[in-house]
Amino acid sequence: MNLIIIQNSEKRASDQNGDILRFAVSEEPLARVVFDGLSRALPFCRRGGTITAVPEEWGLKTRQGDPFTVSYGQQIPVGSELMGEARRDPWLIISNGRFVTRIDSRLLRDLLASAHSAVVAVGAEPGLLACREKIRFTSEGKIAGFRRLYTDAAEPAPAPSDWPHHLFIRTDVLGQLLSDGGLPRSFGALSDKLRAGALTVRAFHVAGDLADLGGAEGLLEFCSSAMSSHCNGHAYEQITYQAEKNDTDEAGEVSRKPRLIGKVLLGQDIHIGPDAVIIGPTIICNGARIERKAVISSAVIGPRVQISARQVVQNCVLAAGQSAPDDLKCGAGSVTRLGQPRLQPARQDRIKSDFRTWPRLSYAGSLKRIADCLAAAIVLILFAPVLPVVALAVKLTSSGPVFFKDRRQGLHGRPFNCLKFRTMRVGSDKIQDKLRVASQVDGPQFKMEDDPRITAVGRFLRETYVDEIPQFFNVLVGQMSVVGPRPSPEPENRLCPSWRDARLSVRPGVTGLWQIWRTREPMKDFQEWIHYDTRYVRELSLRLDLWICWRTFRKMAGQFIGQFG
């Protein structure tokens, strides 16, 4: 169930285009792109169950062929279509039509499942997107720390004072908020009803891209994104082409018909002069007039707008009935110059751009994964008789689970539970900070030669590396590789901003270059970790992996024999 509420946008003094949002939803074919794009951008988009509500004072007629656009006065109607959907959907989603967001639907579902609230307010926050730095400051303005987000995140937020980007209302409490089949127009009145009904409201900031349709910049960015994603080819509707009888201009040059390049959406009764060039994504509304040799690129041209001969209009929004000024370079008159788009590429494209990549048909691109599965299956089959014996020994010698699940970061920073046989007493991880003064390695790692937390069986398992056999289950499911950088937790990666993306370009390994070459010399362990992990990523190859596996086997055999020597 989706309800989009479009409100009167505040008229800002710096915005000479006036009410951009009203212009965007009232002029064709721009309104067609805006309404369609808003529906597509909804969380859990179900276009058949979406109603868009616009203020009745705007005097907009119901869009032809669209029964799901309504006007509202003091109350926002909740139509029978939405109430019918309530029988199948647990949430009514109210979206603020002024803002277009792109939020990971899986993250939203997890958030709603864990919120345990009748009403959840959600605001898109670009700063919580994956592969970005989030800095924390003290009350004095000093840096307290920073965090690298490898997955889209969410965090609690203050309760909103106006309609949030998205408001989720459980349908089983919706009846308590309705009056005569409608919701209050103001968010303050809705908040009063929530308090009167003793309904809990929780607010969150959630990772997402954001565009403001109340400004010229956001409108053009949104239209460019919507047309690039969903429009196919040009739309030609009653284009008027007028050329002189001799088809020559004032300089004697031969005139040619206008050229449309890329995705261009045209309204009705448009005049386009000879030799004009229109480059998409561009929208030209009804009745616009473009004179000879004008150039328009990535723009929205309102109805009855006049573009003079030889003018260049680029990255601009011209509202209805205006003429483009002669000087466009400084954003004079009604033209708004645009910066870089806020709506970023798709999440996967953003993530991949920050890490090293390999061709799909290469060892690192695909063959390494096949080899990992084969090797993991062979190791688990060979150790199948041993694993129950080890599990029994761990269980009988100390209380607690057989396996220890340590939260680590894998490929592209995705978190996973790294499996090991438990070698320490339960709760040992909580007292590590107290023992850090006795750590024998530098950097964010921790190691003690005679760690008092390790059990007797655990010490044997560590010395023989048998405790790491369960990690081959991680390899089978694609969370790890047989050979790769050391799997490390987020707190360690958070302290290593200059090189962490390199080592997270590949899956972490059960063994690796650092594991076989480290010297454990004082004050050099952290530097060796950095050096060998990044070197492995640079030199990754089948030959290197086979060599590391051979050296690991020799080292494990020597360690195992040494336990009985």
In DSSP notation, 213-232 reads TTSHHHHHHHHHHHHHHH--
Cα–Cα dist 247/257, whole Å: 10
Q: What is the pLDDT of residue 449?
A: 66
* Residue 493 pLDDT grade (very low, low, confident, very high; cuts 50, 70, 90): confident
Most confident range, picked from 16-20, 251-255, 443-447, 517-521: 517-521
Look at residue 243 in the predicted model and tell me its pLDDT.
Answer: 41
Q: Is the pLDDT of residue 377 over 70?
A: yes
Looking at the chain, the domain(s) classified CATH 3.90.550 span 2-214
CATH number for region 233-318: 2.160.10.10
Q: What is the pLDDT of residue 335?
A: 37
Start-end of CATH 2.160.10.10 domains in the chain: 233-318
Structure tokens at 211: 């565009």
Which 8-state DSSP code applies to residue 204? E
Q: CATH: 3.40.50, 3.40.190, 3.90.550, 1.10.3470. Which one for 2-214?
A: 3.90.550
Task: Give percent of the chain above pLDDT 90.
Answer: 20
Condensed to tens digits (0 to 9), the pLDDT of residues 409-434 reads 999 888 899 999 998 887 666 666 55
Between strands 2-5 and 50-55, the pairing is parallel
pTM, 2 dp: 0.66
Region 210-218: what's the mean pLDDT? 86
The reported pLDDT for the residue numbered 519 is 78
Q: Residue 376 pLDDT more than 70?
A: yes
Q: What is the mean pLDDT of residues 7-28?
A: 66
pLDDT of residue 167: 92
- Identify which of 66-80, 488-502, 543-557 has the greatest average pLDDT: 543-557
pLDDT at 438 over 80: no
Residue 546: pLDDT band (50, 70, 90) is: very high
Q: Hunting for tokens 């790491």 — which residue is that?
A: 468
Mean pLDDT of the chain: 78
Distance of alpha carbon 511 from the chain centroid: 32
**pLDDT band at 40; cut points 50, 70, 90:** confident
Residue 49: is its pLDDT beyond 80?
A: no
3-state helix, strand and coil shares in percent for the chain, rounded to the nearest 5: 35, 25, 45
Using 50, 70 and 90 to split pLDDT, how confident is the model at 45?
Answer: low
For residue 74, what pLDDT is reported?
82
Which residues lie closer than 8 Å to 185 by C-beta, 6 or more apart?
A: 72, 73, 74, 75, 76
- Minimum mean pLDDT range among 78-82, 152-156, 219-223, 397-401: 78-82
**Residue in this structure with the two tokens 């239209």, named with its chain if needed:** 223
